Amino acid sequence: MITIQNLDKAFAKQKVLSDVTIKIADGEKVLLLGHNGAGKTTLIRCLLGEYRPDHGTVTVAGHSLAHERVAALRKIAFVPQLPPPIRFTLNELFEYAAKIGHCDIDKIRKNSIYFGLNTDAHDHKAFYKLSGGMKQKTLISIAFSRDADIFIFDEPTANLDTMGRDRFRERISADAMKEKTIIFIGHRLEELSSVVTRIIELDLGKVIRDEQA
């Protein structure tokens, strides 16, 4: 269960989130919509504990992000829209991700191949030098390799090729994902219409729509 209660967040004099209250039950598949500047990214960063709210609370499985961030994030896998400029080689990144994510490096490699990433050809390349699509496939492969209960995908198919998008839809529709909680951040419903169970829309930092898909 994710509980966001009366959340406010401002930067300088600009209020980005205003009294946002959302409860997401285990197993829900939520599409978070909103134009640029609506507050989606700020909301997710509060959910990940990267931003501290000015007012309100965020809890994941009963753990407060303000006081128990490590416990709250233990079962969350997150794929950002803009991959960070990681200087590890692909092989080093896999080893690091397996260590901190408590997952099997062989599983990461198998997922990479499933998503169409040629790891043998790119193992010794720096992650930040890979193409946008290859970076996204790498991070998605790592996310699906973790024993997570909650998955957060920010524009997950934006840089994927046709095969990558098809494989992503296959994976999120698989039986193994039915009990998982998934939050998609995006603009397009059609790609996820068969999976999404709930739509939440933000505008100017407020929830203006919250309905079953």
CATH class of 1-75+149-155+183-213: alpha beta
Judged on CB neighbours under 10 Å (0-12, 13-18, 19+), 57 is: middle
Sheet holding 150-154, edge to edge: 76-79, 150-154, 181-185, 29-33, 198-203, 206-212
Query: Residue length, the chain?
Result: 213
**Predicted pLDDT of residue 189:** 64
Mean pLDDT across the stretch 48-64?
A: 94
Q: What are the structural domain ranges in the chain?
A: 1-75+149-155+183-213
Identify residue 53 by its one-letter amino acid code: P
At 128-174, the pLDDT tens digits run 999 999 999 999 999 999 999 999 999 888 889 999 999 999 999 99
Q: Whose CA is closest to 169, among 186, 194, 149?
A: 194
At 11-42, the pLDDT tens digits run 998 999 999 999 999 999 999 999 888 999 99
Torsion sign across C-alpha atoms 34, 80, 6, 213: positive
C-alpha triplet 196, 201, 205: angle, nearest 5°: 145
Ordered DSSP codes for 73-101: HTTEEEE-SS-----SBHHHHHHHHHHHT
Alpha helices (H) in the chain, listed in sequence order: 40-47, 69-73, 90-100, 105-114, 119-122, 132-145, 162-172
For 173: left if phi > 0, alpha if psi spans -120 to 50, otherwise beta; the answer is alpha
18's enclosing H/E stretch is strand 14-24
At 178-209, the pLDDT tens digits run 999 999 997 666 778 889 999 999 999 999 99
